[in-house]
Amino acid sequence: MPEGYCVKCKAKKEIVEAVEEVMKNGRKAIKGKCPTCGVVMFKILGGKAAVTAAPAASASAPAPAPAAKGVNQPS
């Protein structure tokens, strides 16, 4: 079970009913509940799993640009 910090209990708790989610930026997060008070807990994972995706590479490489030049334009 993943652990998270419950703001209501002000203590570290196990996250129950944990569901792994992928956020828009490609990072993984754990969403679940506090076993004591039931408050929704959300833990963003360190991004270690997303390292292989290399989000920085896609931002600096304008891949679509050269491809668009090769398109046959109807004249």
Binding mask 43-72 for Zn ion (x = CB under 5 A): ------------------------------
40: part of which helix (H) or strand (E)?
A: strand 40-44
Q: How many residues does the chain have?
A: 75
List 22, 23, 29, 37, residue binding Zn ion (CB under 5 A)? 37
List 1, 9, 22, 29, residue binding Zn ion (CB under 5 A)? 9
Q: Say how far apart CA 40 and CA 31 lie, in whole Å.
A: 7
Q: Say how far apart CA 42 and CA 33 lie, in whole Å.
A: 8
Q: Tell me the closest approach of the beta carbon of residue 46 to Zn ion, in angstroms.
A: 22
Q: Which residues pair with 12 in a beta bridge?
A: 5
What does the binding site for Zn ion look like in residue numbers (CB under 5 A)? 6, 8-9, 34, 36-37
